Amino acid sequence: MSLRHLARQVVVQSLFTWDFYKQDADRVEEFLQWNIERHESTIVDIDFPKETYLGVVKKASVIDEIIVKAAPQWPLEKIAAVDRNILRLGIYEMLFAENSDVPPRVAINEAIELGKSFGGPNTYKFISGVLGSIYEASDLKETDTFKKGEEDPETFPIVKKAGAVVYSENEKGELVLGFVHDIFGKWTLSKGGAKDDETPEQACMRAIQEEMGVELTIEHEIQENEYIARHPKMGKIRKRVTYYVGKANFQPLVLEEGNDGLDDAKWFTLDEFENMTTYDDIKPVVLKALKMVTQ
């Protein structure tokens, strides 16, 4: 058994204890110490389990919101305590661990193995399903590097998507931009996968209709982004996203039901956009679109 895997077992046991004692904030470090002492003969470096455990506790409220949205059919309090805390650890390592050298797929696999060790007969399947859906919804990028003689990205299947910078003009005559909000707390561009018989433009217009409830008139293609990702069923894939800029009539944006990974849609003025929480690779696309629109 690897030292990291043993350390994760300590983290899960500590989180379980913290959860059992109703998340007593005054005893957080005490719960960790209990479990470290149980494994003191095999825990060589306590920094990893300590930093990970305290990180999960600190981010618990945000992580729990993600669990609720990723598994809406399972109220958080109805999820078995072991399963709940393995999910917390897995999500933390996937999304929030600072300076983590753990690729998302490793975090998922480790959580599945913890489910097999500590949970019931179906725990690992539940863990795999929830973390897999979060992974896919987040568009987590693969951090693998490819060396000569190893896997060739050119052999990976291509998954095409299309999205848009949607703009309009509000009642005050101000230019506004439409964004969707994901379960990770960030505003991003609406996009969707292209069906076999669709062009990228058709896929884009359909996605905007489904995710924002407005009809889009495409004006320009902005750019095409491609990156390596890991699909829970297909394995490594090449995601190819074509971004457009298009205009829609100004009306309330309505996020339709069934859009996994999203929980809101909203218009923003340019001033609001400047302070908006979004992904690093989104703002350059939007700025390029604004240049096209203003010209």
- Percentage of the chain beyond pLDDT 70 is 89
* Rounded average pLDDT over 28-49: 83
pLDDT band per the 50, 70, 90 thresholds, residue 285: very high
- Torsion, Cα of 205, 211, 213, 215 (10° steps): -10
Local structure of residue 93 (DSSP, 8 states) = I
Domain 153-294: CATH architecture, name and number where available: Alpha-Beta Complex (3.90)
Structure tokens at 184: 């990770």
Residue the block writes with tokens 């960030």: 186
Fold of the domain spanning 3-138: N-utilizing Substance Protein B Homolog; Chain A (1.10.940)
List the chain domain ranges. Answer: 3-138, 153-294
Indicate the burial class of 173 (C-beta count within 10 angstroms; 0-12, 13-18, 19 or more).
exposed
Report yes or no: 14 and 48 within 8 Å, Cβ to Cβ.
no
Indicate the burial class of 222 (C-beta count within 10 angstroms; 0-12, 13-18, 19 or more).
buried
In angstroms, the CA 90 to CA 76 distance is 16
* Rounded average pLDDT over 176-190: 89
pLDDT tens for each residue of 130-139? 998 888 777 6
pLDDT band per the 50, 70, 90 thresholds, residue 289: very high
Quick check: 184 pLDDT over 80?
Answer: no
pLDDT tens for each residue of 71-125? 888 899 999 999 999 999 999 998 888 756 678 878 898 999 999 999 998 899 9
CATH topology agreement for domains 3-138 and 153-294: no
* Rounded average pLDDT over 9-18: 95
pLDDT tens for each residue of 203-261? 999 999 999 999 999 999 999 888 777 666 677 778 888 999 999 999 999 987 766 67
pLDDT tens for each residue of 115-163? 999 999 889 999 998 998 888 777 664 444 444 445 667 778 888 889 9
Terminal CA-CA length for the chain:
61
Of 11, 16, 15, 86, whose CA–CA distance to 47 is shortest?
A: 11
pLDDT band per the 50, 70, 90 thresholds, residue 190: very high
